[in-house]
Amino acid sequence: MSWFHTREVHPGVWLVAEPSHVNSWLVAGTERAVLLDTGLGIAPIRPVVEALTDLPISVLNTHSHFDHIGGNHEFEEIVIHELGAGPLEADIAGDLLTDYMEYTHRLLAAAAEYRRADADLLHLLTGDSDPRPLPADFDPAAWRIPASRATGTLADGDRVDLGGRTLEVLHTPGHSVDSICLLDADAGLLFGADTINTGPIYAQLPESDLGDFAASTERLANLAPQLRSVLVHHFGRVEVAPSFLAPVAEAFAAMSAGGVPTTPALDCLGRPVREAHFEDFSILIES
């Protein structure tokens, strides 16, 4: 079984999921295609996306975090927000990967029981969400994410022309300073990157900023009337309705104003955080 699960979610837009981990997205125009993020680097992603399109494929990173750049080194052309170009060239700290692998083992161990309960009672698991075993030839102890170099940078308002399809760059800091979302206005698709998520939304990182998050998510919520769908980059609910955006923006506005109750929790690296729970998502902040 492949580490990746792929499917064409909208015409010319493929989910390239590492199910329940990271969702990368392949977006094709008539001239070329871009891969929005390259995942964890646990298995080669380039052969997987080259099987989906004959067009030349370049990488467009939504930000520089390790879980979105793992396969960058497989590609010649990489663009990222101008604030992400520097971090892309830095080595990824080994303890980050060790801690993430612990989370992966925890997820896989829990999945067996979860699958049984799902088959019996809940019926929610799909190919998008059911976590897959690590590839047989993958050695967790040898897992590295090589540094990569941007061949171009992006700024807010830039338009990426794929031929017959344009992606507009929205700089949406909050999760990280270099976070962007991509808007395909003609198709009504928004790619939410790590700014919009259907599980915990990570605002606990040293570079996270709740005020910026509130402004960015309000900007996205204002786009909702012109959208058909929001495609997200983590967890098993890979696509949500545009109506998902307003509650996220309202939650961040409330969080940045203070006074939202939180409970102690752990993030995917096992670091202590505080979590604010909302109906369809949660928000992590530093403890």
We find the least distance from the C-beta atom of residue 64 to Zn ion, in angstroms, to be: 8
Residue 115's identity, in one-letter code, is: R
Would you say 18 or 74 has its CB closer to Zn ion? 18
We find the least distance from the C-beta atom of residue 173 to Zn ion, in angstroms, to be: 12
Would you say 28 or 230 has its CB closer to Zn ion? 230
We find the least distance from the C-beta atom of residue 176 to Zn ion, in angstroms, to be: 6
Would you say 128 or 194 has its CB closer to Zn ion? 194
We find the least distance from the C-beta atom of residue 223 to Zn ion, in angstroms, to be: 21
Residue whose C-alpha is closest to residue 183's, from 244, 231, 215: 231
We find the least distance from the C-beta atom of residue 61 to Zn ion, in angstroms, to be: 10
Distance CA 171, CA 156 (A): 5
Distance CA 141, CA 130 (A): 24
Would you say 32 or 237 has its CB closer to Zn ion? 237
DSSP secondary structure, 170-227, as one string:
EE-TTSSTT-EEEEETTTTEEE-TTTS-SSEEE--STT--HHHHHHHHHHHHHHGGG-
The residues of the shown chain that bind Zn ion, judged by CB under 5 A, are 65, 67, 194
Closest residue by beta carbon to Zn ion: 65
Would you say 65 or 165 has its CB closer to Zn ion? 65
Distance CA 186, CA 104 (A): 37
Structure tokens at 6: 């792929």
